[in-house]
Structure 1
Amino acid sequence: MSSKQLLYLLQLTSPTLPVGAYSYSEGLETLVTQQIIIHKETLQNWLIQSLKYGSIRVESAVMLRAYDYFINNELESLIKWNQWLSATRETQELRNQSWQMGQSLLKLFNELQPEIKPISIKLYPNCNYAVVFGIAGAIWNISRQELLLGYLQSWSSNLVNAGLRLIPLGQTDGQKILIYIQDTLIQVSQEILELKDEDLRGWGWGLSLASMQHETLYTRLFRS
């Protein structure tokens, strides 16, 4: 990876990217309220199990397919996978999160990379964040492996930040979690790179239930 590609990846995975990721907990708020996740160990275990078996695996695999189809100029296949990913969202909150973040990133890239506008018209308004992320990585010529690892790290960091506010945890605990799950991130990224289409499935029923119950919480800090 060149220095410029590295800087592009850091920009794409930065918490300053204006896509609103900080406003979502992906069911974590429900789990903390129910006292299922109560400290550093339970949070890092939730992250590891989600990475190994949850919907983030499927989402990341679709991101890679969007990357490949954009490079190969196969727009119809790209649109098909975007629709497929939307259909796999188990709850309205998770689907709205994916669409809202995707639209925000798409709008940003319309300004940063005007050549994406013809594709934006076909994808708007229900474009998933993972799909736009893959397109962005292709435009900026980031390698598939590094882009995938960056995507998983960004997802993990966002949930750790949510955990810091919800449990609550100290900043040092958050950094310890991110270091602890590094080997899992690397292992899972290698597995995702090799997933075939027929292998795209997850077992994230815990996330589904937590997301469904989020709207019934007495108070809420997050949108999911």
Structure 2
Amino acid sequence: MDNISQIDDLSLLHVIQLGSAAFPSGGYSYSQGLEWAVHFGLVNSISTFACWQEQVVQEQLTYLDWPILKRMYFCIKSNDQRQLLYYIEALLMFRTTCELRLEEKERGYALMQMFFKCSLIEFNDCWFTLCKNSMLSAIAWLGNKWEIPLKMLVMCYGYIVVEGLITAGLKLVPFGQCSAQKLLMAAFKWFSIAWRHADLLTDEELGGSFPLQSIASSCHEEQKFRLFRS
């Protein structure tokens, strides 16, 4: 029992580490189109930001990020490199703008480089070569390395996405820390239901639809004055 408890404790600590603001996932550099939406008045209040956040959870997380993270997690667990490559390419295809694809690649590469420097993986490891192309696959690889149960990893990734969005909102909308915590707690209420739905999706059902984010991200590529890279 002590060994099982120790493994559970370590998994929990690794989840906290992964979700920490100090973990260098690079989320602070990106707004995923929010900056343009704020600049042009489409998101201009806490209520309009909450609608944007809800779309991120209901579409991006539920129909794309979470189900593909699940598939990547099991590809790595079963040592299926070919299928992992398939899902990396599918994910990049679903990232609908140049900025969103570049963000996915840059954050994946940065994470795998950090894992290498922390002696978690060798530079010439086949998983390094694959997972450096996608942040989501890097998270899936780390979840396997640290023996984090899938649901804990999924919830942690959802937290990373929503916290990054709220951090951008704090600077852009703006709103205060109390409002930020309320928005975070509101997102948490959707997580369990959204994950139950995401967990049942087939490959044919993958692909979140958030057209406004795609438009905002495309326009952001040509925005002259900006704080964020996406």
TM-score (norm 2): 0.91
Q: Within 5 Å, give how 1:130-149 maps onto structure 2.
A: 130-149=136-155
Question: 1:195 matched to which residue of 2?
Answer: 201
- Alignment pair present for 1:82 and 2:88: yes
Structure 2 residues not aligned, in runs of 5+: 1-6
Deviation at 1:177, TM superposition (A): 0.5
Any stretches of 5+ residues in structure 1 without a counterpart? none
Q: Is the 8 A contact 2:122 2:128 kept in 1?
A: no
Deviations 1:2-48 (A, max 9, x none): 11101111111222122321000000001111111112121112111
| 1:153–1:185 CA contact under 8 A, matched in 2 | no
Aligned equivalents of 1:11, 1:100: Cα separation in 2: 21
Give the whole-Å Cα distance in 1 for the aligned partners of 2:56 and 2:153: 19
1:54 equivalent in structure 2: 60
Q: Which residue of 1 aligns with 2:27?
A: 21
Partner Cα separation in structure 2 for residue 50 and residue 5 of structure 1: 27
Q: Distance in 2 between matches of 1:182 and 1:163?
A: 17
Using the alignment, how far apart are the partners of 1:97 and 1:51 within structure 2? 18
- What is the identity, as a one-letter code, of the residue corresponding to 1:164? L
Verify: 1:221 aligned to 2:217, yes or no: no
| CA deviation after TM superposition for structure 1 residue 116, in Å | 7.8
* Percentage of identical aligned residues: 29
How many angstroms apart in 1 are the aligned matches of 2:52 and 2:135? 22
Q: Which runs of 4+ in 1 moved over 3 A?
A: 54-57
Structure 1 pair 116–215 and aligned structure 2 pair: CA distance change class (3 A): closer
* Contact 2:62–2:195, Cα closer than 8 Å, also in 1: no
How many residues are paired up? 223
1:204 — aligned with what? 210
- Equivalent pair of 2:97/2:217 in contact (CA under 8 Å): yes
Give the counterpart letter for 1:62 in structure 2: I
- 1:178 corresponds to: 184
SS at match of 1:208: helix
* Residue 115 of structure 1, CA deviation: 5.5
2:72 and 2:16 map into 1 onto residues whose CA distance is 20
Contact 1:60 1:130 in 2 (8 A): no
TM-score normalised according to structure 1 size: 0.93
Aligned position for 1:118: 125
1:72 shift after superposition: 0.5
Aligned letter for 1:119? C
